[in-house]
Amino acid sequence: MNDTTMTGRITAESADRDFMQIRYTDLIGKFLAKYIQIDKELIQDVFRKGIGLDGSSVIGFSTIDESDMMLFPDRKTLRKIPLSSYEIMTVIADVYNGFDKGRSIKDPRSVSQTLEDHLAVSQIACQIGAEVECFVFDQIIFDMENNNPASNNVNGRNRAKDVSILSSEQYGIGKYPIRKKSGYDVPTFQDSLIEFRFEVANILKQYYDINVTNMNHEVASSGQIEINFMHDYLTQSADNVQIYKDVVRNVAKKYNKIANFMPKPIFDPLNNENSDNGSGMHVSISLWTKSASKNVNLFYDESDDYAELSQAGRYFIGGILDHARSLSAIVTPTVNSYKRIIPGFEAPVYIAWARGNRSAVVRLPVNEKKSSTSKRIEYRAPDPSANPYLAFSAIVAAGLDGINRKIEPGNPVSEDIYKMSDSRRKDLGIGVLPGSLEEALSSLKSDSKYLNLCFHHDLISTYSDLKNKEIVEIGNDESVINQFMFYYDV
């Protein structure tokens, strides 16, 4: 058979078949993808019968002796998207144990869905909005120790002696460099990523029906961006974060750039003056009663003079502050996260709350007055290395514990906490967030009962084991190069 005949046959057969991308998230937050080709008339079988998965090859899912698992696509997430020169279907799946043994307790998506089911019993819905920052570098260059690939591999990871970050916004590279910590809303001639952000926004809307609101150049130099999208229900919002990060990375690949979601890629362990702002993932939360006639924001109270915040909202804040240290193990889950949680770079360090105060870990945005639809509570600790399904669920679980136990948050703090003396902070009862992942995991070990609402204890145990192993692998070397070797693709 000649080549022309073969090509014609493949084209004709392909017209009756579809490529499908099936997405799911591992325990630490990586958005994985499986691909199948299927007859168009058999697509419904994928939703009904699922697709097999080797759970032992997925971080945190299962052991090799119980590795057979299943992916069942969530029909609500089905989309048509372009991928390379193809148009394919993409869908997010739920993870089940094999042999009809039910839902996997290690599936991060099951955590947020369990919490939503719990709230639905009380006719309550949770809305989440995430502000995900990241860097888009022109290049990351690893200077390997020698030219022998075998000797560069240590514990399954390559070894390098140095790393260089290149960006057209840096001194010595670009024509109009941006000074450190001076990138917020820079003028057009300095902003190297305008078209990049526009393209990401267009893809999110056109192919995923995600409505983008803001597309900012953020505070740091070297290509820091933040693209915000509309709040949504808890699981949907976590889905949106995973999709957003994936789109940013793929658009960066198209532009021959590298998207980086490390919490603190630009830091100097010896001199903070040489560091730049890190990337956060501030999370805004609101709770709503679900009613056929009218939805009511449970955090809104027009009669509250301070911030139009209800008593339920205060209790919710009280729960977050009470559990803030253990929450850190989930919302700031990497060794690199704690390079960001230091004073002087707009990242939260202190356990306090206030309206409009960005030095507190909980902030009440007060841009608008007498607006029940915009009343929300912002938790500023999380960063983009967090698994959004786990992070969002843990924050809400902590807040609900505050409501159930009527935990008062104390008085709001109207001062710049960064500038306070230690004695002043002590007098006000202001605590401090953990200074390391090890410290955060220790807090989680002693304070995890509130998570039982939606986290299975085996998930928490497996997650903690993975993170403790991460600490051991990194060891005492917290240099920039070692951080990049572990987290450049987080």
346 in a known ligand binding site: yes
Alpha helices in 421-456 (DSSP H): 422-427, 437-446
How does DSSP classify residue 94? Answer: E
Q: In the annotation, is 415 catalytic?
A: no
Q: Reduce the DSSP state of residue 301 to 3 states and report it.
A: coil
Q: Is 468 annotated as a binding residue?
A: no
Residues 410, 326: contact at Cβ < 8 Å? no
Residue found by looking up tokens 């109207």 in the block = 414
Q: How far apart are CA 280 and CA 286, in angstroms?
A: 20
The whole-angstrom separation of Cα 430 and Cα 421 is 11
Task: Tell me if 202 is assigned to a ligand binding site.
Answer: no
Question: Which residue among the candidates 226, 276, 322, 383 is catalytic per the annotation?
Answer: 226
Identify the active-site residue in 282, 314, 323, 325.
282
94, 131, 138, 276: the active-site residue = 131
Q: Which of 26, 378, 383, 401 is catalytic?
A: 378
| 226 carries an active-site annotation | yes
Residue from 301, 358, 415, 473 carrying the catalytic annotation:
358
Active site residue 380: yes
What stretch of H or E contains 82? strand 79-83
In DSSP terms, 216 is beta-bridged to 226
Q: How many helices (H) and strands (E) does the chain have?
A: 13, 21
**Active site residue: 39, 54, 368, 489, which one?**
54
Is position 54 annotated as part of the catalytic site? Answer: yes
Catalytically annotated residue among 23, 314, 363, 380? 380
218 is catalytic: yes
User: Would you say 273 is a known binding-site residue?
Assistant: no
- To the question of whether residue 131 is assigned a binding role by annotation, the answer is yes
358 is in an annotated binding site: yes
282 annotated as ligand-binding: yes
Q: Is 17 annotated as a binding residue?
A: no
Q: Is 218 annotated as a binding residue?
A: yes
CA-nearest of 232, 368, 237, 351 to 300 is: 368
Q: Collect all residues with Cβ–Cβ distance below 8 Å to 215 and sequence separation of at least 6.
A: 197, 198, 200, 201, 225, 226, 227, 228
302 labelled as ligand-binding? no
Q: Does the annotation flag 217 for ligand binding?
A: no
CB 404 within 8 A of CB 456: no
Is 116 catalytic? The answer is: no
Active site residue: 94, 218, 232, 276, which one?
218
Catalytic annotation present for 378:
yes
Catalytic hit among 26, 107, 133, 383: 133
Which positions make up the binding site? 131, 133, 218, 226, 277-278, 282, 340, 346, 358, 378, 380
* Catalytic residue IDs: 54, 131, 133, 218, 226, 282, 358, 378, 380
Which positions make up the binding site for Mg(2+)? 131, 133, 218, 226, 282, 378
Which positions make up the binding site for ATP? 358
Which positions make up the binding site for L-glutamate? 277-278, 340, 346, 358, 380
